[in-house]
Amino acid sequence: MAVNLRTPLEVFSVFKLTTRERWDIGTPLVIATLSVIGVAFIYSAQYSVAASSWKMQIVWLVAGILIYVATSLVDYRFWLRVIHWFYGGCILLLLLVLFFGVERYGAQRWLSLGGFSLQPSEPAKAAVLLVAATILMREKVGTVAQSLGVLGKLALAVGIPMVLILLQPDLKSVIVLPPMVFSMLYVSRLSTRFFVGALAAFMVVMGTVAWDASRYIKFMEENDYSYVRDRGKYEPHSWVPFKDYQRNRIISFTNPDKIDPMGISWNQRQSLISVGSGGLLGKGWTEGTQAQLGYLPRAVAHNDFIFSVIAEEKGLLGSLTVLSLFGLMLFNGIRIAGLARDRFGTLIALGVTVLFSVHVFVNIAMTIGLVPITGIPLPFISYGGSFLLSCCLLQGLVQSVYRFRKDFT
């Protein structure tokens, strides 16, 4: 079925709402609830130090609402015309951050723009999603042999931003992209042999990481180095593009007794205590001792480990409430992907849903010790301007798919 791309004038006639452009109310209600929970527990996580991060989160939330509504009102097929500009702009920002970025915690991931900072890896996620959907919509895929050209284009389009993000370094923003792209390839009916080969390649990569970690341990012990004080000593001796602090996170997960529990594995240990001490109903809002007394470090309690704060203060019921809200949002994303009337809409809705699924799973699994610490934030709840705006943009795209799903000629 041919897709009618609107002219720019038609695209931005946002107040011309027809019966075919209905709103899906479920997801916005879930997003609003999660955002309110986020502001409340950002406030709680920093209650003892009277920080104002929660106020800034409200500012970002207002901006995010505007982005969400604006993106929802524009026909998602409009991005087929402008994706090369959006993608190019994101690549430019990723290059700028490598040369002019602000360094924090040993990483150069932020661009200072007046009174606020932008993390270019966040809009880059949307750019990767849209460019991958565009390529897969315009090209036919089938067997691996038939799809080599498409896979080559896709690998180049996805690989460039991934490499630039890794150079910052920002591994957490990279690991969420492959599952998203592979899910889009799966619904594009690519040959099963491709996924078998991809799985084999993944196992080789994981084996290489494990081998490198064992060499790292041997190197540190033979030279009597400290994992905390002597970070960076091993990096020149390895061709695996990891930083030593990233290796420390892997080792603290697989062999916590090997790493100083007061150093590398401290955050995860305190997170486990927070989650475990919440009980059924929790200790009460602003009453969680782990965050209030600083055992769960205040630098991470309101962002990466905010689920631990929720679990301690609202217990199992509060945790299940948050999980249920995310479940509703993700289920609705899959439903909208199924309702889409063209491949582009399906790929967008599915890609966004898988991306959010990875964020939710890895963040919560990290706080309860199921995966190594990665620093992946929790959508709409963790503190962070660039991340919140990116989440609103992505969910706005899904809403647009729903609203314009029947607008074909």
Residue 117 dihedral angles phi and psi, to the nearest 5°: -115, 145
In this prediction, residues 315-334 reach a mean pLDDT of 94
User: Helix 177-187 vs helix 192-222: angle between axes, to the nearest 10 degrees?
Assistant: 160
This prediction has a pTM of: 0.84
Name 116's bridge partners.
Answer: 113
Asked if pLDDT for residue 323 goes beyond 90, the answer is: yes
Q: What's the pLDDT score for residue 144?
A: 53
Asked if pLDDT for residue 65 goes beyond 90, the answer is: yes
Q: What's the pLDDT score for residue 35?
A: 96
In this prediction, residues 142-153 reach a mean pLDDT of 67
Cα first-last separation, the chain? 9
Show the tokens assigned to 159: 């690989």
Nearest-angstrom CA–CA distance, 371 and 355: 17
Asked if pLDDT for residue 91 goes beyond 90, the answer is: yes
Asked if pLDDT for residue 230 goes beyond 80, the answer is: no
In this prediction, residues 243-257 reach a mean pLDDT of 73
Q: List pLDDT tens digits, range 251-270.
A: 776 666 666 554 567 777 88
Q: What's the pLDDT score for residue 3?
A: 45
Q: List pLDDT tens digits, range 336-369.
A: 999 988 899 999 999 999 999 999 999 999 888 8
Closest Cα to residue 358, out of 340, 343, 347, 371? Answer: 371
Rg, Å, the chain Cα set: 22
| Residues 6 or more apart in contact with residue 299 via CB below 8 angstroms | none
Q: Give 57: exposed, middle or buried? Use CB within 10 Å, 0-12, 13-18, 19+.
A: buried
Q: What is the DSSP string of 187-240?
A: HTT--HHHHHHHHHHHHHHHHHHHHHHHHHHHHHHHTT--TTTTTTSSGGG--S
Q: How many CB atoms lie within 10 A of CB 9?
A: 7
Share of the chain above pLDDT 90, in %: 40
Asked if pLDDT for residue 314 goes beyond 90, the answer is: yes
What value does the mean pLDDT of the chain take?
83
- Measured at the CA of 354, the angle between CA 190 and CA 204, to 5 degrees, comes to 60
C-beta separation of 234 from 267 below 8 A? no
Name 118's bridge partners.
Answer: 111
Q: What's the pLDDT band for 407 if we cut at 50, 70, 90?
A: low
C-beta separation of 125 from 178 below 8 A? no
**Comparison of pLDDT for 99 and 16, the residue scoring more:** 99
C-beta separation of 75 from 404 below 8 A? yes
Nearest-angstrom CA–CA distance, 272 and 41: 18
